[in-house]
Amino acid sequence: MLRPGKLPSAMLAELLAKVTHADPRVLLGPGIGRDAAVIEMDGRLLVAKMDPVTFAIDDIGWYAVHVNANDIACMGARPRWFLATALLPPGAPDSLPGAIFDQLTAACAALGIELVGGHTEVTLGLERPIISGAMLGEATHDEIVMGTGVMPGDRVVLTKGIAIEGTALLAREAHRRLRRLGVPAATIERAARMLYEPGISVVADAQAVTAAAKPRLMHDPTEGGLATALDELAQAAGASVRVDLDAVPVFDETRAICAALDLNPMGLLASGALLAVVAGTDCERVAAHVMDAGITCIPVATIVEGPARVIMEAEDSAVPIPSFARDELARFFDDAEGKTND
């Protein structure tokens, strides 16, 4: 039975194996760990991505622009054009379409993106609004990051910290429950603001990385948290990833909220962090350059010989990293008690 959240990796891989391309201009199609498609367009590259926003209610239009722009930036491209399909629940206030439109236009203006089209309707069967976004970007052949050439000795750096988006959503959607569980109001307020500071955008992160060196691969953790993102990265790279969990930055607000709700930060919705695979010789320079841009950047893993898998350092032994069948946020909302803010 299907559960809320991403499809299981094995199921998705089986579906994607059926996809073929007759057009030679499709340079990169769908695949696990691939953030966007790449299409040759008369010497320049069109980069295309679709991503929905299904958990958020507050600022859903703002979310939709940023999560789609993130995937374009992870390809080394510049997000340029956005289309949005907004599905609204029956009985929603008349003010909702205008509020979402204002969020979309404000987010696009902040990133220099043109809102070029979409669709809006009231849809039967919905309990909350859903936006499905399509972002188009462009890059040159020299700029594009195709995820190739990953080799043992490469390092994986992580920006900001994990579970920014999940922490902010829990603070906004479950604040009353968190207060009852003893989480201080000040902690919940700071967590809710994490949506904007440090924020869920990784466009600046990706630009800072590429300004310092050409990365082998970039990927933004989303559903399933860092654990799922590392597994996707390993599959895209076709190599083993050894991660030092002690090096992974976790915000105090995330620790407090996850402890109260019995959630694991490693499996919690993680937009706002960027994973970048860089040559070992480039790692120090990349980290320093990103830090100079005011963005935390920490090496958290190393590419090693072996099959596509993620292992973690534990007392000089290699053990599998925890895996999550679905995002911890989806698990929380799927819980009967997690569906309300009472």
Length of the chain: 342
The per-residue pLDDT for range 186-242, each reduced to its tens digit, is 999 999 999 999 999 999 999 999 999 999 999 999 989 999 999 999 988 899 999
User: DSSP class of residue 92?
Assistant: -
At residue 314, does pLDDT exceed 70?
no
Give the integer Cα–Cα distance in Å for 118 and 136.
13
Give the integer Cα–Cα distance in Å for 137 and 71.
10
- pTM of the predicted model as reported, rounded to 2 decimal places: 0.89
pLDDT band at 317 (very low <50, low <70, confident <90, very high): low
Question: What topology is assigned to 9-139 in CATH?
Answer: 60s Ribosomal Protein L30; Chain: A; (3.30.1330)
By C-alpha distance, which of 134, 133, 131 is closest to 89? Answer: 131
Listed by start position, the domains of the chain span: 9-139, 155-339
Looking at the domain covering 155-339, what would its CATH class be?
Answer: alpha beta
The per-residue pLDDT for range 296-313, each reduced to its tens digit, is 999 999 999 999 999 987
